[in-house]
Structure 1
Amino acid sequence: MKFEEKLKERKDWELWKEYCGFLDLTIDEFMAIQNRLMLEQIRKWRTSGIGKTILKGRNPETIEEFRKMVPLTSYEDYADSLSLKDKSILPDDPVVWIQTTWEGGRHTIKLAPYTRSMLETYQNNMLGCLMLSTSSGRGDFDVNPKDTILYALAPLPYATGIFPLLLNDAISIEFLPPVKEAQKMSFSERNKKGFKMGLKKGIDFFFGVGSVTYYVSLSIASLGSGHKSGSGSGGGDGKKKISISPAMVVRLLKAKHLCRKEGRDLLPKDLFRLKGFMCAGTDNRLYRDDLEKLWGVRPMEIFAGTEPTCIGTEIWSRDGMYFFPDACFYEFIPEKEMERSLADSSYEPRTCLMNEVEEGEKYELVISVLKGGVFMRYRVGDVYRCIALENERDQVRFPRFEYIDRIPTVIDIAGFTRITENSIGRVIGLSGLKVKDWAAAKEITENKRPYLHMYVEMEPECLFSSAVTVNILKEHMGVYFKYVDEDYKDLKKILGIDPLEITILRCGTFDTYYRGGKEKMRRINPTQYEIGELLKSQELVSAFGRRPERSV
């Protein structure tokens, strides 16, 4: 029976128990589900071609044996096998292949096969997210087949493209604009069409990457402010009229009157009454307050990815994420273990399970995809903090997490980039710039926007030429970042932002830093202390060097 049919025939509480009942689990019950599904997965995976390749003749029978025999994996361990899309080596037959960017400057794409059972679990968990996004407490939700949802998602073969397909298979919620049309439109065209349709039909749900939803929200505010009152716009100038419902005409007139009275711009919340607002991706915490001001509804964060599928969601209180017990088997690398393994690739860090995490600690997530998935003991590259082991207020009795960021060796800007030491090295090499040394960090502006800050020391001969300036470096590197990393290009194209800032350090700064006996600084995301010490070191350099410059 489809979800839409269940809405008509079953009581709300029964639906809640089916899709959101995992919130009633104790930690022991949570682990029982994890262990049962993981044992089923081990039996499938160990006999597959890809499983045999990684196991190298070992044959684990229990979860404990599995964790001892199978090393932690990364995409390199699967790349050659998956690139051929050979289903004969997989634990189960794939229904669809999902892809995403791997690492700019080094690799092309990641591929992830999804089985039918994985898609069924994905669908159930996404429906749970939909219900929770409208909820104000346990058992409460407001989802209707006549609802509308603003389309702000990347289409297939990206993971977010699964969401509208799975949702439409369960309930006839209308996407604005329709998915088939949206996939053929540019980002700007999609925004305008969705807004026009929203004026006619209203907007009940909004779901997308946090940075993208923010940009779309600003676009809607701009379009709304420029719209003429009445049933259409531009009646005599040849522009196509926009059909608006009578209720929306009244709301638009009232909103514009209120905005003039309060001396402010029109906001999306003045026109639309969202039932539910969901955000996915990195850096959501930097956009959530602004999004709440724009829409009058606080976004609910969920976590979904190409390899793990949909694995976690916030609930009505919007203060932390809970993992679904049936999507993946979860392991956690404590922060100190993660740091040691990143510094020494030969070190195998220890992991703990969901019932072993500690409140306040940070962890790198490790997943084993259930229901016939291919990725086992897989380092996703994301870091979480355990907020609490239980939530007495919301009566949830297993751990709650908040998403922190990507692992320290990766710089992810607004969910659009995967910048590594390798990709920056390639950019510098392609640019032909005579860079002696550098460090790069993800930093946050005063208005809470992420950017890439590079600290660059040039070769001495370059600094005697007035041609080498911050703007020249920024222009050169920007060109090659776009060449090396396709997603970096989208930051400018879709979000209209240039994430690169450069500080030129005096010649000899890095030598002076290390002369003090300090350990080698990590080039990607050095600590704030290390950056501070680096800037102090340049002040000790003799005055003949060029004074530091910073891009605007």
Structure 2
Amino acid sequence: MSRILSLLKEGKKKEAWQMYCGFIRLSTAAFMQVQERLLKEQLELAAPSGLARKLAGGDLPKNVHDFRRHFPLTTYEDYAPFLSEKREDLLPARPELWICTTGKPGKYDRKWAPYSPSMVAAHAKNFMAAIIFSVAAREEEFTLKENFRFLYGMAPPPYLTGMVPYGLKNEFPFEYLPPLAEAEKMTFEERNKEGFRLGLTKGVDLFFGLSSVLVRIGEEFTGRKPEKTVKPGRFGLLAWSRLLRGLVKSRLNSRSILPKDVWNLKGIICAGTDTAFYKERIEHYWGKKPVEIYGGTEIGIAATQTWDHEGMVLFPDANYWEFIPEEEYFKTRKNPVYVPQTVLTNELEPGKRYEIVVTNFRGGAFLRYRVGDFIKVLALKNERLGIDLPQIIYEDRADDVIDLAGFTRITERALWDALKKAGITHGNWVAKKSFPKDHPVIELYLGTNPSGKAGEVEESIHQALRQVDADYHDLEEILGYRPVKVVLVPEGFFKTCRQRQKAASKDRFPENFSRINPPDELFEELTAFKAQKREEEGQPRS
């Protein structure tokens, strides 16, 4: 029996809360003490490892000050030759699990991250904290019962979300719908149907997965008209009675049936880069605000919202946290050889944006690793809840990548390949993620002659992206929408913008800017052009 289950059965709810959620009562100074202690342990573990020595170009610095001063900032390209081959002999500790995510086509197909047994345990414990926050009404008041039923919304292993249940098995006994062994062999549609069937019969208590998936399940549930497809003979009287109660609720509210009419979820935990965008629809469909967590393949479970569903709090024992201020980041965009300065958690400033840099604890592989994510600091504390730790939100990718709904990461190379397949060989284009309606899309601004038709160009690029990126193809199949929007701009538009910005001496506007996630100044001009074009066509400005 797990420790938390024993405590809950003994009625020791406060002790259970303290075990998993007590970190929110740390002062910033105490938070930093945990950080430094665990970093010193990591440096001792990593010092003899071949990987750390290769990255350091010799001996690994022995103390925190020298480590931050002399050890270089790293990116996945520094690790790819070793982790792609799973060179366990070079690692600080033998891994229990290898977890992966999408890589960069042409460089590495997958990013791999090793997790030692103590890393798995630490991140599982942090995920349990997020679960507790999701079912909490207030501090130390929460409901968690043995065999609570999780609706399976995870990617299959070896992706991070699919590995979570394996980490949790030693923390708490949950039941998964469908069961893990079956769910991992099913397609997305098969998992949804079987989860729907089992959920009607057994009920659903919890959900964890990508926020985009939960919205899609809600859309499919409502669009499927379950009252017409669920038959008592196939699903059983218990399922039918649960559905009838849901139908009565929906009729009383004069609307279509929603998942929240059928199930009363106790907690929702969502991951994915676009959770903030989806959260209102999640509450609409499921009747419960999600607790957002921030994490990733290389960093594990990094931060979580608490029971007020506002800013996220970093876990002190997940990784050693450093942050590149936005102004330092832009210096590296102008001058790639510039080495940006970093700050620590106790040096963050409210309202500012930072690129995250992490060093894994407990024998992890990544040292001073640039994750490629931007976070924003909302405040240095949560005044209402009395939490004296920085409150953050995930903002977006910091690198030349567009992350769509947590399903795929579109690189500049992938877009180049798709454009070439579509017969477009010039370089007059830029792309950025936008949220025009219900889902995030790639908004592609393409220079062309006045006779070009956006719809035809968009269709050809969309089909080409389906061919060059399998995850893009799967996103459309699973979430049911087209993730690209093309806006045609006149030939010479980008050259004119560059000249205008250069004349205005915009320090952050480099001569050779990235085509993905271009400088804000350029995107502001593109947005203004799009609005003017819509107005000329008699459409509302948006």
TM norm structure 2: 0.91
Alignment of 1:243-392 (within 5 A): 243-245=236-238, 249-392=240-383
Match of 1:398 in 2: 389
Deviation of 1:58 (Å): 3.9
Match of 1:242 in 2: 235
Alignment of 1:455-474 (within 5 A): 455-458=445-448, 469-474=453-458
Q: Which amino acid aligns with 2:447?
A: E
Structure 1 residues 32 and 267: alpha-carbon distance in aligned structure 2, compared to 1, 3 A threshold: same
Give the conservation status (yes or no) of the 8 Å contact 2:154–2:210: yes
Deviation of 1:390 (Å): 1.5
Q: Which amino acid aligns with 1:524?
A: I
Match of 2:523 in 1: 531
With 56-65 and 179-188 compared, the bigger mean Cα shift is at 56-65
Alignment equivalent of 2:439, drawn from 446, 449, 458: 449
Match of 2:505 in 1: none
With 94-103 and 511-520 compared, the bigger mean Cα shift is at 511-520
Distance in 2 (alpha carbons) for counterparts of 1:537 and 1:8: 62
With 298-307 and 164-173 compared, the bigger mean Cα shift is at 164-173
Q: Which amino acid aligns with 2:518?
A: P
What are the superposed Cα offsets for residues 493-546 of structure 1, whole Å, 9 maximum, x if unpaired?
110111111122223323333443635454222355423535778999xxxxxx
Alignment of 1:117-128 (within 5 A): 117-128=118-129
TM norm structure 1: 0.90
Distance in 2 (alpha carbons) for counterparts of 1:539 and 1:7: 57
**Match of 2:222, SS?**
helix
Structure 1 residues 67 and 539: alpha-carbon distance in aligned structure 2, compared to 1, 3 A threshold: closer
Give structure 2 stretches of 5+ with no counterpart. Answer: 503-508
Distance in 1 (alpha carbons) for counterparts of 2:500 and 2:7: 69
**Match of 2:98, SS?**
strand
Give the conservation status (yes or no) of the 8 Å contact 2:372–2:399: no
Give the conservation status (yes or no) of the 8 Å contact 2:227–2:247: no
What are the superposed Cα offsets for residues 180-215 of structure 1, whole Å, 9 maximum, x if unpaired?
111111111111111111111110001111111110
Give the conservation status (yes or no) of the 8 Å contact 1:106–1:422: no
Structure 1 residues 263 and 97: alpha-carbon distance in aligned structure 2, compared to 1, 3 A threshold: same
**Match of 1:33, SS?**
helix
Distance in 1 (alpha carbons) for counterparts of 2:530 and 2:115: 52
Q: Which amino acid aligns with 1:371?
A: R
**Match of 2:194, SS?**
helix
Structure 1 residues 494 and 538: alpha-carbon distance in aligned structure 2, compared to 1, 3 A threshold: closer
Q: Which amino acid aligns with 1:279?
A: C
What are the superposed Cα offsets for residues 415-465 of structure 1, whole Å, 9 maximum, x if unpaired?
1222232332232234432435111121121x353211111123x6xx6xx
Distance in 1 (alpha carbons) for counterparts of 2:432 and 2:70: 36
Structure 1 residues 190 and 534: alpha-carbon distance in aligned structure 2, compared to 1, 3 A threshold: closer
Deviation of 1:249 (Å): 4.4
**Match of 1:412, SS?**
strand
The Cα RMSD (Å) is 2.4
How many corresponding residue pairs? 525
With 163-172 and 189-198 compared, the bigger mean Cα shift is at 163-172
With 375-384 and 430-439 compared, the bigger mean Cα shift is at 430-439
Structure 1 residues 184 and 537: alpha-carbon distance in aligned structure 2, compared to 1, 3 A threshold: closer
Distance in 1 (alpha carbons) for counterparts of 2:481 and 2:306: 31
Give the conservation status (yes or no) of the 8 Å contact 1:387–1:400: yes
Alignment equivalent of 2:500, drawn from 493, 500, 516: 516
Distance in 1 (alpha carbons) for counterparts of 2:122 and 2:155: 21
Distance in 1 (alpha carbons) for counterparts of 2:57 and 2:425: 46
Give the conservation status (yes or no) of the 8 Å contact 2:80–2:108: no
Alignment of 1:185-224 (within 5 A): 185-223=186-224
**Match of 2:467, SS?**
helix
With 475-484 and 87-96 compared, the bigger mean Cα shift is at 475-484
Distance in 2 (alpha carbons) for counterparts of 1:282 and 1:379: 17
Match of 2:163 in 1: 162
Distance in 2 (alpha carbons) for counterparts of 1:351 and 1:535: 32
**Match of 2:72, SS?**
coil
Match of 2:431 in 1: 440
Distance in 2 (alpha carbons) for counterparts of 1:198 and 1:539: 45
Structure 1 residues 432 and 167: alpha-carbon distance in aligned structure 2, compared to 1, 3 A threshold: same
Distance in 1 (alpha carbons) for counterparts of 2:366 and 2:256: 48
Deviation of 1:122 (Å): 1.3
Deviation of 1:9 (Å): 3.9
Distance in 2 (alpha carbons) for counterparts of 1:11 and 1:119: 26
Give structure 1 stretches of 5+ with no counterpart. Answer: 236-240, 541-546
**Match of 2:359, SS?**
strand
**Match of 2:96, SS?**
strand
Q: Which amino acid aligns with 1:449?
A: H
Deviation of 1:159 (Å): 0.8
Alignment of 1:43-54 (within 5 A): 43-54=44-55
Give the conservation status (yes or no) of the 8 Å contact 2:74–2:369: yes
Alignment equivalent of 1:500, drawn from 484, 507, 517: 484
Give the conservation status (yes or no) of the 8 Å contact 1:104–1:419: no
Distance in 1 (alpha carbons) for counterparts of 2:83 and 2:74: 14
What are the superposed Cα offsets for residues 250-285 of structure 1, whole Å, 9 maximum, x if unpaired?
443233234234331101111111111110010111
Distance in 2 (alpha carbons) for counterparts of 1:188 and 1:533: 41
Structure 1 residues 251 and 523: alpha-carbon distance in aligned structure 2, compared to 1, 3 A threshold: same
Structure 1 residues 53 and 288: alpha-carbon distance in aligned structure 2, compared to 1, 3 A threshold: same
Give the conservation status (yes or no) of the 8 Å contact 1:191–1:220: no
Give the conservation status (yes or no) of the 8 Å contact 2:7–2:15: no
Distance in 1 (alpha carbons) for counterparts of 2:221 and 2:111: 33
Q: Which amino acid aligns with 2:154?
A: L
Match of 1:60 in 2: 61
Distance in 2 (alpha carbons) for counterparts of 1:24 and 1:150: 31
Structure 1 residues 244 and 149: alpha-carbon distance in aligned structure 2, compared to 1, 3 A threshold: farther
Identical aligned pairs, as a percentage?
38
What are the superposed Cα offsets for residues 73-94 of structure 1, whole Å, 9 maximum, x if unpaired?
1100100011221211100011
